[in-house]
Structure 1
Amino acid sequence: MTPGRLVITGMGAVTPLGTGVPAYWRGLVQGRCGVGPLTRFDASALPVRIAAEVRHFDEAALPRAVARNAARFMRYAFVAGMEALAQSGLDIAAAPERVGLTMGTAMAGVAEATAGEAAFLASKSGKVSPHFVPAIIGNMAAAHMAIQYGIHGPGMTLETACSAGGDAVMAAAMLLRSGEADAVLVLGGESILCPSVVSSLAQAKALSRRNDAPEAASRPFDRDRDGFVIGEGGGALLLETETHARGRGAAILALLAGWGNSLDAHHITAPDPTGEGAAACMRTALRRAGLAPDAIGYVNAHGTSTGLGDIAETAALKRVFGGPDTAPPVSSTKGATGHLMGAGGITEIIACIMAVREGILPPTLNLDTPDPRCDLDYVPRIAREMRVDAAMSNSLGFGGQNSSIIVTRPV
């Protein structure tokens, strides 16, 4: 028996703009920026000293075991998951084996791993905490959620670089379509702020060095962009079959209409300059949704503010939607949040859902001087009121990993 359409009944977000979907969305449409000086560690000796950190995070909301033993990326994902479950009103205990979990993260507990290694090397005892390994494993974020809420259905964690959040949504959709579950909680979490990661990305010339103007550092599609800004956070979506959601009287926030995944097979870090891999991914999502390109009213771009990446993504968008006269409005919310990596795939889908629900397109911050090679409508600086019935979120990761997710208005 086919499960029918797939729907979204819960959302959760932990971002540099605030915790909770209302705070996150309000920050986006108001044009606030979450980038500031890096405070997580002493970065004075590094060429990059800025980041989009989660601030004022309430640890009291966490169960004691999670607060004490979970890595930061897990804690962010957990709080986002709590919000999504609460909004959905799902009674997990009614059929715990029919509820699944998927998780997306790019680098899991890399910050805790490097800190633990440094502590071990400096230790005279030669001992490491027994919590070290569980704190760095990517799937442990979902494990904490399953333990706390009694979720017994299928679970899987994807570490597909910056497309991991979108890929976790696709994995959840596959579980629902195959009949393995009736509902799946999708999590995304990231917190990679540690000296070795910042130094490595800085040496690769991937990060902005606007240390004296952090709020102007992330400037997707702008001529004067000089790299992305590391962000951190968590995101969550509760996905269900429409039959299951309506059967329990749930409020449906949006339809999950389409999803796609592809590989560039081009380079370990650089995108395919032709954009064909990302374009193929978008076409797959459109085909699965049964939509023509002109049905998409808004695209939340990957748009990291890197020199090569923004140009390649523009080329991909043109392959699918045509030029400036035919392509829909596009924006990158990374000007506000920085690059949330695995968590960004989820939070940017939430931005698409809210655009559909609220009729507002979040802006691309700091787009002051458009790059002539990025000549689409990128909703510069100021949010725009506009009815949207279908929106696409793109996430493009190292290794040529591409993810596209389409959400539509529930009807």
Structure 2
Amino acid sequence: MRPSRIAISGIGVASPFGAGRECYWDHVKQGRSGTRRIDEFDPSQFACQVAAPLPALCVDQAPRLESHPSLDTQAGDDVLRERAEARRYSRASLAAVIAAREAWHDAGLRMGEPDAGVIIGTGGGGIELGEKQYREFFTDGLKRVTPYAIPIAICGMLSSEISIALQLHGISHVLSTGCTSSTDATGYALGLLRAGEAEVLLCGGVDACVTPGMIYGFSRMRVVSTAFNDVPEQASRPFDATRDGFVLGEGAWMYVLEREERARARGAHVYAVIEGYGSTCDAYHRVQMDPEGIQIVRAMAMALQRAGRAPESIGYVNFHGTSTQLNDAIEIRCVRTVFDGHADRLCGSSTKSMVGHPQGASGACGIVTTALALDRGFLPPTINVTHLDPACDMDVLPNQGRAIQVEAALCNCLGFGSKNSAVVMGRAQ
């Protein structure tokens, strides 16, 4: 017996392509790359000089919201007006608020909605502000350190910024479990909604980690691409034989979750439904996957079992697909283990080929992309596949998307610290 399905009834995005859900979908559908040479700082001293960062954003790029009758309209307007200055936000919190407001508006919800809360995932929070402030502290002394440094930079503030912007008084939590953060936030939200502990939740993930310290650190780890500095748009190439590391990405992918019957009763558009979630830990290594992939397989199988679905019912996999040599091959092997003979009839793609690796927002990016794919009957491609690695022998939708309607999909997410998470999604009926 399948558990209750949780509907995605609103979507908002701030991505390397700019603000807006439709802007994001148009670029991903067409297979365009958001990777470019870094110009936010001088990258010439680093081995990796490319990334997929957020462009400059403004809070006014998100739609304004109506106020719930229980909320004083003037008070709601004052909150938005007071916090509209970009200097009051980290890059991550600004992107999160813009995407959250778009998702809330898309779902037909209002500022001050009762019985509503926020659960999101992030890896670094406002790390760029913290890094900048440390740099200024050690070079300029105390002169340029802002009193906002701590409350803006910490991870836990991200959900608070969204709660304040939407005037929501329910749960306001941030999960930080590395690259699986937003997938895990979604699993957490799934449980609360099914238990009746919340009526509606703003969920998703955000990260904005393109900073000198992060680029240098990942370069030292030798996990980011360094061979395509002269052709940045080709640097992220999951499953390709010439891949040489991931591209660091940024963005916020937010969605409204509520029980399907509630969403339909109020006439909301249901993009897709979330049916099952599974999470495991390899307990193997700080940064490397267990080559055997036993726990990766178990996380996917767990999500399928909890969704009440047979592997044969899945038509699309949104791969974690980072563009690193070992991880891509291990992931494909694990997917083949889970789906057995059905893997030869299964297609999937890596959104990271277009938006880079947005760290703790990876799962949310995959969930949003899959929800739009299920809703619109189009599966986006994996770009930059010129020579498919024989170790990645599946239909990864190379270079061109495909107009096809599938009934269910699996989103896979793998992270540092041996963490694995998976979500099973179904098409709205």
TM-score for both structures, normalised by structure 2: 0.91
Q: Indicate which of 185, 188, 196 corresponds to 1:179.
A: 196
Matches within 5 A, 1:2-401: 4-61=4-61, 63=80, 64-65=82-83, 67-91=86-110, 93=112, 95=114, 98-125=115-142, 128-209=145-226, 210-322=228-340, 326-401=344-419
Structure 1 stretch displaced more, 272-281 or 239-248: 239-248
Distance 2:52 2:215 in 1: 13
Distance 1:50 1:301 in 2: 22
**Secondary structure of the corresponding residue to residue 360 of structure 2:** coil
Structure 1 stretch displaced more, 373-382 or 127-136: 127-136
**Secondary structure of the corresponding residue to residue 399 of structure 1:** helix
**Secondary structure of the corresponding residue to residue 417 of structure 2:** coil
CA 125–216 in structure 1, closer or farther in 2 if over 3 Å, else same: closer
Counterpart of 2:268 in structure 1: which amino acid? A
**Secondary structure of the corresponding residue to residue 292 of structure 2:** coil
**Secondary structure of the corresponding residue to residue 296 of structure 2:** helix
Distance 2:304 2:211 in 1: 38
CA 14–94 in structure 1, closer or farther in 2 if over 3 Å, else same: closer
CA 323–5 in structure 1, closer or farther in 2 if over 3 Å, else same: closer
- Per the TM alignment, residue 55 of structure 1 is displaced from its structure 2 partner at its CA by 2.2
- Per the TM alignment, residue 344 of structure 1 is displaced from its structure 2 partner at its CA by 2.4
- Per the TM alignment, residue 360 of structure 1 is displaced from its structure 2 partner at its CA by 1.2
Counterpart of 1:17 in structure 2: which amino acid? F
- Per the TM alignment, residue 94 of structure 1 is displaced from its structure 2 partner at its CA by 5.0
Give unmatched runs, 5+ long, in structure 1: none
Distance 2:20 2:385 in 1: 26
CA 75–409 in structure 1, closer or farther in 2 if over 3 Å, else same: same
- Per the TM alignment, residue 18 of structure 1 is displaced from its structure 2 partner at its CA by 3.1
Distance 2:122 2:207 in 1: 6
CA 245–92 in structure 1, closer or farther in 2 if over 3 Å, else same: farther
Q: CA RMSD in A?
A: 1.8
Aligned length: 408
Distance 2:341 2:38 in 1: 39
CA 296–227 in structure 1, closer or farther in 2 if over 3 Å, else same: same
1:91-121 per-residue CA deviation (whole Å, 9 max, x = no partner) reads 45352xx111101001112221111011111
**In the alignment, which residue of structure 1 is the partner of 2:67?**
none
Counterpart of 1:277 in structure 2: which amino acid? Q
Distance 2:18 2:145 in 1: 34
**In the alignment, which residue of structure 1 is the partner of 2:65?**
none
Counterpart of 2:267 in structure 1: which amino acid? G
CA contact (8 A) 1:169 1:186 kept: yes
Distance 2:160 2:419 in 1: 25
Distance 2:175 2:113 in 1: 27
- Per the TM alignment, residue 3 of structure 1 is displaced from its structure 2 partner at its CA by 9.4
Paired-residue identity, %? 37
CA contact (8 A) 1:359 1:386 kept: yes
Distance 1:141 1:156 in 2: 9
1:332-355 per-residue CA deviation (whole Å, 9 max, x = no partner) reads 011111111222211211111111
CA contact (8 A) 2:59 2:97 kept: no
CA contact (8 A) 1:103 1:139 kept: no
Distance 2:176 2:356 in 1: 19
CA contact (8 A) 1:330 1:377 kept: yes
**Secondary structure of the corresponding residue to residue 116 of structure 1:** helix
1:172-210 per-residue CA deviation (whole Å, 9 max, x = no partner) reads 111112221010001311111111111111111100011
Counterpart of 1:105 in structure 2: which amino acid? T
**Secondary structure of the corresponding residue to residue 203 of structure 1:** helix
Distance 1:59 1:147 in 2: 14
TM-score for both structures, normalised by structure 1: 0.95
CA 237–24 in structure 1, closer or farther in 2 if over 3 Å, else same: same
1:14-33 per-residue CA deviation (whole Å, 9 max, x = no partner) reads 11133211111111111111
CA contact (8 A) 1:324 1:377 kept: no
1:117-149 per-residue CA deviation (whole Å, 9 max, x = no partner) reads 111112244673210001111121210111122
Distance 1:31 1:78 in 2: 26
Distance 1:193 1:185 in 2: 25
Give unmatched runs, 5+ long, in structure 2: 63-79
Structure 1 stretch displaced more, 320-329 or 261-270: 320-329
Distance 1:351 1:43 in 2: 30
**Secondary structure of the corresponding residue to residue 53 of structure 1:** coil
**Secondary structure of the corresponding residue to residue 131 of structure 2:** helix
